[in-house]
Amino acid sequence: MDVFTVGLITLFISTIVFYIVLFSFIFYWHLKKITFVVVPIIFTFEFFATGFLIVAIVSIVFQYLPVLTQTLGI
């Protein structure tokens, strides 16, 4: 399996876990009368930006790892 595919599957699984936690926090925020529209949107954007950057960086590193090892002579 390609490294990017593994990273994408990992991102989808972590997205599911994130939304489970997010909806439980929305329920908590609803009970505490805290805004539950703006805060989850900010957290969702931050989560996807972080997840995309992690998947992109790891896939780039694994894509060019053979070239780096060959260049360094390892």
pLDDT at 34 over 80: no
d(C-alpha 51, C-alpha 20), whole Å: 16
Mean pLDDT over residues 54-63, rounded? 82
Overall pTM > 0.75: no
pLDDT for the residue 12: 80
Q: Who's near 63: CB < 8 A, 6+ residues apart?
A: 3, 4
d(C-alpha 18, C-alpha 36), whole Å: 15
Q: Which domain holds residue 24?
A: 3-72
Q: Give me the number of domains the chain comprises.
A: 1
